[in-house]
Copies of this chain bind each other. A is one copy, B any other.
Amino acid sequence: MDPEAGTVTTYGLFGGLFARGGAARAVQDDAWVRAMLDVEVALAGASADAGRCSPEVARRIERAAAALVLDPADLGRKSAQGAGNPVPALVRALTEAVDDGTPQGRDAAGHVHRGATSQDVIDTATCLVTARALPSTLEDLRGAADRCAELASRHRNTPIIGRTLLQQAVPTTFGLKAASWMCGLDEARAQLGQTARETSRLQLGGAVGTLSGLGDDGLAVHRAMARRLGLGEPVVPWHTVRVAPALLVGAIGAVGTVVAKIALDVSLLAQTEVGEAWEAPKGGRGGSSTMPHKRNPVAAVTAAACAARIPGLVGTVLSAGVHEHERAAGSWHAGWEPLEDLLRLSGSAAAWIRESLESLEVDPSRMADNIELTNGLVLAEAVTTALAGHLGRLRAHDLVTEACRRAVAGRTDLRSVLADTPQVVDAIGPAGIAEALDPAAHLGTAGAFVDRALAAHRELA
């Protein structure tokens, strides 16, 4: 995959960073206009299916819609001059396009938008836009997880120091770290996919949700329209009961969280003082001719930036889900751009984190060096455990604590101090000391966790 392909959008100055993934293209103005026209076409088709108009009428509307080129900014301006949403202007333009002056054209024109209201069009179009935007996001998440799988597999047994509160704690493996990222990506992706499927549904209710404009054919048109659009059919119109969008943005929120976590870890691993992994410079990115030592993790940083904007927008969409009666006095409109932003930003976050991971270079020897930074102190507890079997836990603990103190005071390593401590040597011998201080001997279940994570990933993919 060429991630650069993700950048061809109409977004401008900040779009290279925040409109990167395929989702960004799918939520642009022209995609919205297309989706709204698709809704009108499906409505006409469904009306024909239900016998409310002839198939020819529906075909005329479809043909006119296919040929119609609308300027989104013009629709935007007319929104502001008129009803407060772009649908009336779009319907007028479509109606005029259908009415080609012939009697059949005029007749067909009379069927445009028949029975629907503006909110039906925008809400259903939102589902279409969402359905079209998410696949590339899901694909980027899958790609990122695949790369984690590769890293987890290759580094199943590569020791790295575990860090808690940013302090070195005890060793884990880079494989388990990558496997954890992968599991998070997989769960967020699976849930987003499922939620999207479950919440992607027709909205058709007419003026107030009764489909009163469709006479006795309401249910038939409703069913046919959902089928034509490939959307779920809701039990009742959901125009002002916004559980579906709330669930969708919740799932997007989870994607943001896991992407941000990985991005943060990459940035931390790439620190000059840590240097255990970094993004391979690509073209001019990340490197610096004037600062040759810098390896800026640009992709991870940008992924983090995209993801950092998600929680606030999730809150906004949830707040904006509280609608008055049969159409909201502001909340409905308030949710349009934030949902678009969420689709775009989660898509960008996914694209960037995939790129970050795919470019990630890993340095196991630096990981090994860093484990040694404390001169063995990170494995002091392992020594205690080894000694406890021979000397009792309390005495073992005291001996090791004292040895640590001496190691720190003398700026020497724990190994030498222990080797100079007769009680320790007597108890476990040089081999016991060596084993206790070998990171690879203290990785617990890390390998087994990696194995089952990889199995789960294969099953999902």
List CB contacts (< 8 Å) of A252-305 with chain B.
Answer: 253-254, 256-258, 260-261, 263-265, 267-268, 270-274, 283-285, 288-298, 300-305
Contact partner, A260, options B80, B322, B382, Cβ 8 Å: B322
Partner-contacting stretch, out of A56-64, A81-89, A94-102, A421-429: A81-89
CA gap between A333 and B303 in the complex, in Å? 10
Contact partner, A296, options B84, B181, B307, Cβ 8 Å: B84
Let me know if A359 is at the binding interface, CB within 8 A.
Answer: no
Partner-contacting stretch, out of A37-45, A131-139, A231-239, A430-438: A231-239
Let me know if A151 is at the binding interface, CB within 8 A.
Answer: no
Contact B302 A84 (CB under 8 A): yes
Contact partner, A167, options B17, B236, B296, Cβ 8 Å: B296
CA gap between A162 and B254 in the complex, in Å? 33
Contact B338 A312 (CB under 8 A): yes
| A12 in contact with B81 given A236-B179, A272-B167, A373-B273 (CB within 8 Å) | no
Contact A318 B449 (CB under 8 A): no
Contact A270 B208 (CB under 8 A): no
Contact A166 B312 (CB under 8 A): no
Let me know if A228 is at the binding interface, CB within 8 A.
Answer: no
Residues of B within 8 Å of A254, CB to CB, are 243, 246-247, 250, 318
CA gap between A73 and B13 in the complex, in Å? 5
Residues of B within 8 Å of A13, CB to CB, are 29, 32-33, 72-73, 75-76, 79, 86
Contact partner, A243, options B73, B188, B313, B337, Cβ 8 Å: B188
Contact B324 A268 (CB under 8 A): yes
Residues of B within 8 Å of A326, CB to CB, are 162-164, 169, 172
How many copies the complex holds: the figure is: 4
Residues of B within 8 Å of A291, CB to CB, are 167, 169-170, 207, 377-378, 380-381
Residues of B within 8 Å of A330, CB to CB, are 263, 267, 300-305, 308
Let me know if A156 is at the binding interface, CB within 8 A.
Answer: no
- Given contacts A164-B325, A165-B296, A268-B325, list 12 more A-B pairs with CB under 8 A: A16-B79, A164-B326, A164-B327, A166-B270, A214-B444, A247-B251, A250-B314, A271-B274, A292-B380, A307-B322, A312-B316, A315-B315
List CB contacts (< 8 Å) of A12-34 with chain B.
Answer: 12-18, 20, 29, 32-33
CA gap between A235 and B213 in the complex, in Å? 52
The smallest C-beta distance from A17 to any residue of chain B, in angstroms, reads 6
Contact partner, A176, options B81, B209, B274, B300, Cβ 8 Å: B209
Contact A393 B110 (CB under 8 A): yes
Contact partner, A180, options B237, B246, B264, Cβ 8 Å: B237
Contact A211 B285 (CB under 8 A): no
Contact B81 A329 (CB under 8 A): no
CA gap between A15 and B340 in the complex, in Å? 13
Q: Mark A136-180, 1 if CB is under 8 A from B, else 0.
A: 000000000000000000000000011111111111110011011
CA gap between A445 and B225 in the complex, in Å? 15
Contact A83 B240 (CB under 8 A): no
